[in-house]
Amino acid sequence: MTLDIPTLFTCIMIAEFAGSVILLVFYLFWPGRSVACARSLALWSAGMFLAGCGTVLFAIRGTVPDLLSIVAANFLLILGTGLRRSGVAVFLGRSSHVWLFTTIAFAWIVLYQFPEFRDNFLARVNYVQSVMILSALWVVWMAFFENREKLYSVRMLGMTTLVEAAGFMWYTVSQNVLHLPSFQSSFAEGFMSIYLMVIMFSIIMTIVLPASMVIERSLQGFREQALQDELTGLPNRRAFLNDAEDWISSTQSTSGMYSLILFDMDQFKTVNERFNQAMGDALLQLFARILKDTLADGAVPGRVGGAEFAVFLPEGNKELAHLTAQRICRRFGLECQEASGGRLIVTASVGLVSAGVSTPLERAMEAAEGGLHRAKKQGRAQIVAMDLAPNGRLIKDAKRAGFSVLRKKAA
């Protein structure tokens, strides 16, 4: 098959209509799509269908009235391309600006009513191609600077759209240099074949990439859910340990230190039994919120068990860890009292350890758990600090003052 102009137009039409159907099916049956993904797919599908209709009218120019092959064709092309661009914006959480592309499409119809514009082929080319170029560059900008999730498929879309924009520029410059009198007269020129091949490439890629974007976001969401505690939004045990291990392994200073704090709500099971599970869930969420609000940048919080929370403090010494634990526990106790009008008093026990980066995280966790166990055994609402030697051997353990809001000397 020879890639002459009619063949290229036929391939583009087939690709656009096929892409519209494929994305529509994907929109209807992909189970993991979000609202933004669904809207994006719907806009892409509609845009490709309208652009396909416009391409059909372009292909039969000369055999149908100009009202269809010029006015309607360009109107559908502008609107269809605009919907595709809007689909990218919606996917990335930005305003779709459908109204803007609709206005530009209708402005084309209005301008065509003026003979100075209608009879000037170059003016018509510059208007339509300017819209194509600017909208393509808008997508490129969003793909590289608004892609907060760092999705590879979005970056690939940006590169593909940049190629598409180059194709539009190539066509526009060629028309302005050659000053061809009509659209049909450009069929014999070599630049037209290059232009249509670039457009066909971009159309094929825009069938694959929107679906890839939705799939990649869904997979990323699944990965985040696997590493996030659903109730509190904090990293779960695996994610917490991974983040702490990453910091330890990336620290080049052999003299660096870190601190690990373990919290466990006292008599949490009794609270669930006395009130209900909803109250217990509310307490867990409250503690998680306090961690997020209280901890400094760089600290890593996590929920590592039923009512157990952990905090990893990079470069944190024992004094900082103790003050952090006091501040968190006192705020938690006070907010519990305030929220319940004094009827609900909940404390937490704490075990903490400070160690050098040469100490394995697993050993630090064992020591902190030992401190937490001792805090429970000594009457709850206690902070017990454990000290480790560089080789991981326990040096000493020390009981620290409690922080129960019932005590007058609470921290």
Return phi, psi of residue 397, to 5°.
Answer: -135, 150
Rounded to whole angstroms, the Cα distance separating 275 from 257 reads: 42
Residue 53: pLDDT band (50, 70, 90) is very high
Residue 177 sits in the same domain as residue 315? no
Residue 212 neighbours by CB under 8 Å, 6+ apart: 153, 156
Residue 52 lies in a domain: yes
Both 186 and 262 in one domain: the answer is no
Of 99, 197, 198, 219, give the one whose Cα is nearest residue 152.
219
At which of 226, 250, 268 does a domain end? 226
Q: How many domains does the chain have?
A: 2
Share of the chain above pLDDT 90, in %: 51
35 pLDDT band (50/70/90 cuts)?
A: confident
CA distance 135 to 34: 25
Domain assignment of residue 405, yes or no: no
Indicate whether 185 and 264 sit together in one domain: no
Q: How confident is the model at residue 175 (pLDDT cuts 50, 70, 90)?
A: very high
| Predicted local confidence at residue 3, as pLDDT | 62
Of 48-62, 262-276, 324-338, least confident by mean pLDDT is 262-276
What average pLDDT does range 94-116 have in this prediction?
95
**Residues 6+ positions from 67 with CB-CB distance below 8 Å:** none
pLDDT of residue 406 exceeding 50, the answer is no
Q: Average pLDDT, stretch 102-124? A: 95
* Mean pLDDT rounded to a whole number for the chain: 87
Q: 398 falls in which pLDDT band (50, 70, 90)?
A: very low
Nearest to 291 by CA among 101, 299, 76: 299
Residue 1's pLDDT is: 47
Q: Are residues 281 and 362 both part of a single domain?
A: yes
Q: Please state the φ and ψ torsions of residue 398, each to the nearest 5 degrees.
A: -135, 130
Task: Give every CB contact of residue 133 below 8 A, 6+ residues apart in sequence.
Answer: 165, 168, 169, 172
For residue range 234-272, list pLDDT tens digits in order.
999 989 999 999 898 887 676 788 999 999 998 888 877
Average the pLDDT over 211-238 and give the result: 85
Residue 162 lies in domain: 5-226
pLDDT for residue 285:
92
CA distance 88 to 94: 9
CATH of the domain at 30: 1.20.1070.10
Check residue 158 and give its pLDDT. Answer: 95
**pLDDT of 34 strictly over 60:** yes
Whether 411 is in a domain gets the answer: no
- Indicate whether 2 pLDDT > 70: no
Task: Judge if 167 and 299 occupy the same domain.
Answer: no
Higher-confidence residue of 218 and 167: namely 167
13 and 149 fall within a common domain: yes
Task: Tell me the residue type at 392.
Answer: G
pTM of the model: 0.68
Query: E strands within 187-288?
Result: 257-265
Map residue 179 onto helix, strand or coil.
Answer: coil
For residue 230, is pLDDT > 60? yes
Which range of 168-172, 279-283, 375-379, 398-402 scores highest in mean pLDDT? It is: 168-172
Identify the H or E element spanning 301. strand 300-303
